[in-house]
Structure 1
C-alpha cells in the first residue's frame, strides 16, 4: 500500500486518477494535513519535522509500504524521515528534478508559493550533483491567491502565462503538484515539467519492488 501525504485535499482525486493510469489496483491511503503547509510557510519546514514524522509513522503502522509526499515545501523533511521509518519516503518532485537536469543546465523554477522556491532549487542541485546548472526562481505573483479562493482556472492561466514569458531556458520546473495542469496550457517550446505523474510512477515502483532482499525486489 502507498500512503500519500498531502497539504491540500485537491490532490486526492488527481493522484487517484494517476494511479488508475500508471498502477491500476495499487492501494492508496491519502493523508491530508493542510496545517503542515501553513506552519512551514510561517516558521520554516524544519519547524514541522516532528509533526511530519508523527504522521508518517502512523501511516507505516497502518501498513504503508512506501510514502509519497506531494508537498514540495515539506518534501525534504518527509524524505529525511525514511531512515527512521524503515520504509521508503519519496518527495513527489524528485523524479521531476532528475528529468529537468537531464534536459540542460539552464533551469527555471516556477512557484506559486515562495516557500517552495528554495527547497526545489536545493533538490535540483542535489540531482545535478557535479554537473553545473544555472537556476532561476520565479514566483508567479497572485497565483496562490487564486488557488486559495478556489479559482483554479485563473490559477492555471497565470502559471501558463508565466511559463510562456520565459526565455533562454532549457527546462521549466513547476514547483508544486497543484501547478501541473498549467503544463498543458503553455505554448512555449521549452519542456515544462510537472511532478504528479512522474512522482506517482516512481512511488508505485517502490511498492512493487518491495523491501530490499525480498523476492519482489529481485
Structure 2
C-alpha cells in the first residue's frame, strides 16, 4: 500500500510548488489536498490570525486525516507558529511548511536573508528562525524583506513580475548573506528562471516533501 500524504493549503499558490516537489522526488506517494483559500485572503486583509482562523485550519487538517493520510503537511508558512498547538489533536504526524527548511538554514548559520511576499510570513519566519537557533544553541543574524507587490502580481497571474521582484531582492541580499530563505511555497517557482550564485537559496517544498515522507514511513 502506498504512502498517503495530506497537504493542507491556505492558498492555490502553494499547490503547484509542493505537487512538483512530490512528483519529482516521491512520485509513488498518494497526495490528498484540502484547502480553505479564504484564510489567506482574510490574513492579507487583517494581518492577524484569529481563533476562528485556527479552528478552520484544524477543520481542514482533520479532513486530511479522515481521508486516510499517513502524515500531514501544512503548506502555509504564516500559520507555522500554530501548528504545534493543533498537531496533538490528530492521530497522524504533522509538520509545518517550513520546519525542516528552518533547521537547515540554522545549520548553515551566520547571516540569513529572508524574503517573503505575504506581510505576516516575513516576521513569522524570522521569529521561528531565532527560536530554532536558540533551541540549537546557535547564533544567527536575520535580515528580512517583504514584497507584497509580488504576491499581488501572482494573484493576478503575472508570474513574470512576481519572479522579477523576488530576483531583485535575492541579488541584494546575496551580497551579505550566508544563506537565503524564500519564506513561502508560492515563491519557489521563481528560481526556475533565476541563475543562482554561490549563496544557498532554501525553499520549503523539496525539503518539506522529503521530511514528511520520512515521518510518514516511520509511522
| Fold in common (TM above 0.5) | yes
TM-superposed deviation, 1:186: 4.4
Is the partner of 1:142 in helix, strand or coil? helix
Using the size of structure 1 for normalisation, the TM-score is 0.89
Between the aligned partners of 1:50 and 1:32, the Cα distance in structure 2 is 13
Between the aligned partners of 1:10 and 1:115, the Cα distance in structure 2 is 16
Report the counterpart of residue 184 of structure 2 in structure 1: 176
8 A contact 1:71–1:92 mirrored in 2: yes
> How many residues in Structure 1 have an aligned counterpart in Structure 2?
210
TM-superposed deviation, 1:109: 0.9
Deviations 1:100-153 (A, max 9, x none): 111122111101111101211122123212211111111125212211111112
Between the aligned partners of 2:158 and 2:71, the Cα distance in structure 1 is 33
Report the counterpart of residue 215 of structure 1 in structure 2: none
8 A contact 2:17–2:189 mirrored in 1: no
Using the size of structure 2 for normalisation, the TM-score is 0.88
8 A contact 1:52–1:77 mirrored in 2: no
TM-superposed deviation, 1:71: 0.6
TM-superposed deviation, 1:51: 1.1
TM-superposed deviation, 1:10: 3.7
Go from structure 1 to structure 2 and tell me whether the alpha carbon gap of 1:43 and 1:165 turns closer, same or farther (over 3 Å shift).
closer
Is the partner of 2:29 in helix, strand or coil? coil
Go from structure 1 to structure 2 and tell me whether the alpha carbon gap of 1:43 and 1:135 turns closer, same or farther (over 3 Å shift).
closer
Q: Is 1:36 aligned with 2:39?
A: yes
Structure 1 stretches of 4+ with a deviation exceeding 4 A read none
Report the counterpart of residue 93 of structure 1 in structure 2: 98
Alignment RMSD, CA only? 1.7
* Structure 1 spans left out of the alignment, 5+ residues: 211-218
* Structure 2 spans left out of the alignment, 5+ residues: none
Between the aligned partners of 2:67 and 2:31, the Cα distance in structure 1 is 12
Report the counterpart of residue 216 of structure 1 in structure 2: none
